[in-house]
Chains A and B, each alone.
Chain A
Amino acid sequence: MSVFEGFRFRHVTSPIHRLDPRVKFLYVLAMFVVALFFIEFLPLLVLFFLQIPFVLVAGVRREWLRSLRGAVFLVTMIFVFNFVFGYFYRTYSSSAVLLEYSLAMALRFLVLVESFSIFFLTTSPDHLSLALEQSHVPYEFTFAFTTAVRFVPVLAEEAQTIMDAQKARGLELERGNFLKRVRNYIPILIPLIVSAIRRSLELAEAMESRAWGATDKRTNLYVLKMKKGDLILIILSIVLLAVAVYVHFFVTIPSLSTFLPPLPF
């Protein structure tokens, strides 16, 4: 099942992967805030290209492109919506301005997707849970998160086995009208749910048997330490924010129409 492939973190290491997830998240937040500052096309384009070096250094180009491709539908929707809405309900100095505005809004969404995608592609679930723990998120939540991630491939395999077992009893999943097809999934869902419940019980037994809840002061085998690279990223994020604030308030951003020939409409 390819949709689950994305959750199976690949064992790639790069300087980006080794960065502290908390710092990476701070950077993503900075990107987020900066992107929200601007409604003009050019700065957003700059932001978009600013992140590409990260993608290349981390070696996650293929997966990153895939995530962008996944966002194409929504990006197009945002563009269309802004353009149509603006055309009928708002007044713009010209259609060219409206076009630029809609493109900018679509691009802004893309930038946001891009930065979050880089974050998740370069942070292993283990690393992420460690960051959560050290950020004093209650351990129950972190544990629930890692356990869920750990069992995704197991559940996927089990779902496949259950489908096979029912197909071998004559169940045809592709046949019938919409309603019948939905009903056909009951013999798949029920065993899956029952199995999940049974599994949870077994996990709980194992957890208890390994001293779960023995103390509030839980320790950790690993520890996150900030290194040089993290410091650089923090500085980068602050600089980015500072530059963004300056540009937003003190610099007039040229619109695209100054660079391009006047459009036919």
Chain B
Amino acid sequence: MAIIETNALTYTYPGATKPSIRDVSLSIEKGKFVILTGPSGCGKTTLCRCFNGLIPHFYSGELKGELCVAGLNVGEHAIYEMAKQVGLVFQNPENQLFALSVEKDVAFGLENLGMPRDQMKDRVNWALQMTGIEELRERAPHELSGGQQQRVAIASVLAMQPEIMIFDEPTSFLDPLGAQKIFEVINDLKRKLGVTIILVEHRLDLAARYADQVVIMDAGKIVLDGEPREIFNSETAWLLGVGVPKAVRLWNLLQENGLILGEVPVSSEEATRFLREVLKR
């Protein structure tokens, strides 16, 4: 069952000469982990902002086409209504934390929604637990590392228990180990809670292993949409300059040289396993 459904979605920022996304038709099923990628400026960030209502309510401009998220028509519902169903975690950890303590930040969304205090306390504890940051609850955001800050941001959004969580390049400022940890946290949300995940990322080598669906955009349009293994293996992805994981690249090179291989690996562990089989023959 599709939890996000768009049809011919087109959006032009106010004052812009051409649309940032054009004719986007996309269907995302409940509980799936979707990677959205493409070269800089392809419109992936714009598309994410459509999903939670920032477009058209915060950014005005012209939004055409149909967009249905968690059963709601985005154009007809205020952002704060969408916030209960769709959470958005942004790229810069520092600029999404407002409060003077982690606890208060995680509670921010719930306070906005007018949740009674006792219920709020339980929810905050739960969110801190899910993201593994309970021991940070009284710390000030400025004292935390980038990775810790991002986990606080995730907890703050998670506390509202949305069905869909969107992550817009959440690991840009993190080192590879920090990035790995964040992807694990995100995957846990899908595994344990059934949250539908949309991850916008360039670092596919670390994130590819978690994806159920990969969507590639270029110049505002969707160019590829499908199963990770076939998408990563496609020529188009490579030509677009998408950061296809090195494991897949190796696979391609070996295939070009006549090797008959099985499935396309989406992680180094898979590649090692598949290669072992090939080499043993």
The interface residues of chain A lying within 8 Å CB-to-CB of B97 are 150
Q: Are A203 and B107 in contact (CB under 8 A)?
A: no
Number of A-B contacts (CB under 8 A): 108
B80 touches A211 (CB 8 A): yes
B-side residues, CB < 8 A to A, are 49, 52, 54, 57-58, 78-81, 83-84, 87-88, 90, 92, 94-101, 103-104, 107-117, 120-121, 124, 140-142, 156-157, 160
| Whole-angstrom CA separation of A136 from B70 in the bound complex | 36
| Cβ–Cβ contact B117 & A214, under 8 A | no
Within 8 A of B (CB), among A203-258: 203-215, 217-223
Q: Are A205 and B100 in contact (CB under 8 A)?
A: no
A206 close to B111 (CB less than 8 A):
no
On whether A218 and B114 interact (CB within 8 A), knowing A150-B142, A210-B157, the answer reads yes
The CA-CA distance from A218 to B160 in the complex, in Å, is 15
Q: Which residues of B contact A215 (CB under 8 A)?
A: 112-114
Q: In the complex, how many angstroms separate the beta carbon of B54 from the nearest chain A beta carbon?
A: 6
Note all chain B residues with C-beta closer than 8 A to A150: 97-100, 140-142
Task: Return chain B residues, CB-CB under 8 Å to A210.
Answer: 83, 108-109, 112, 156-157, 160
Closest residue on chain B to residue A202 by CB atoms:
B95
A85 interfacial by beta-carbon distance below 8 Å: no
Q: When chains A and B are docked, how far (Å) is the Cα of A153 from the Cα of B110?
A: 26
**B49: nearest residue on chain A (CB-CB)?**
A205
CB within 8 Å for A213 and B117 given contacts A206-B96, A221-B104? no
Distance of A153 Cα from B100 Cα, bound (Å)? 12
Q: Please indicate the chain A residues that have their CB under 8 angstroms from the CB of B124 in the complex.
A: 221
Q: Given that A206-B90, A206-B95 are contacting pairs, would A125 and B100 also be in contact in the complex, using a CB cutoff of 8 Å?
A: yes
Minimal beta-carbon separation of A190 from chain B (angstroms): 19
- Enumerate chain A residues within 8 angstroms of B95, measured Cβ to Cβ: 199, 202-203, 206
Which DSSP category, helix, strand, loop or mixed, fits chain A's interface?
helix
Selected from A124, A143, A208, A223, the residue in CB contact (under 8 A) with B80 is A208
Which range contains the number of A residues in contact with the other chain?
20 to 34
Chain B proximity mask over A119-132: 1 for CB below 8 Å, otherwise 0: 00000111000000
Sampled A-B contacts (7; CB under 8 Å) = A202-B92, A202-B95, A203-B98, A205-B49, A208-B79, A211-B79, A211-B83
Report if A184 contacts B (CB, 8 A).
Answer: no
Give chain B residues whose Cβ lies under 8 Å from the Cβ of A223. 117
Contacts of B96 in A (CB 8 A): 202-203, 206
Give the B-binding residues of A (Cβ under 8 A).
Answer: 124-126, 143, 146-147, 149-150, 153-154, 199, 202-215, 217-223
Cα-based distance from A211 to B101 in the complex (angstroms): 19
- Chain A hits for B84, CB < 8 A: 211
| A30 vs B30: C-alpha distance when bound (angstroms) | 61
Q: Are B142 and A153 in contact (CB under 8 A)?
A: yes
Question: Once bound together, how far apart are the Cα atoms of A218 and B80, in whole Å?
Answer: 13
Q: Closest CB-CB distance, A158 to chain B, in whole Å?
A: 10
Closest beta carbon of chain A to B274's beta carbon, Å? 41
Chain A residues contacting B58 (CB-CB under 8 Å) are 204-205, 208
Bound CA–CA A213/B84 (angstroms): 13
On whether the beta carbons of A154 and B94 are closer than 8 Å, the reply is: yes
**Which residues does chain B contribute within 8 Å of A211, judged by CB atoms?**
79-80, 83-84, 109, 112-113, 160
Residue in B78, B81, B108 with the greatest tally of chain A CB atoms within 10 Å: B108
- In the complex formed, the residue of B with least CB distance to A221 is B107
Which residue of chain A is the closest to B79 with respect to CB atoms?
A208
A125, A205, A207, A210, most chain B CB atoms within 10 A: A210
Give CA–CA (A247, B90) in the complex, Å. Answer: 62
Which 5 pairs of residues, A with B, have the shortest CB-CB distance?
A214-B80, A210-B109, A206-B96, A211-B83, A202-B95
Residues of A close to B83: CB separation below 8 A = 208-211, 214
State whether A209 and B100 are in contact (beta carbons under 8 Å apart), knowing that A150-B142, A202-B90 are contacts in the complex.
no
Contact partners of A208 in chain B: CB under 8 A: 54, 57-58, 79-80, 83
Partner of B52, one of A202, A209, A214: A209
B54:A219 contact, CB within 8 angstroms? no
| Residues in B whose Cβ lies below 8 Å from that of A143 | 98
Measured CA separation A202–B173 after assembly (Å): 15
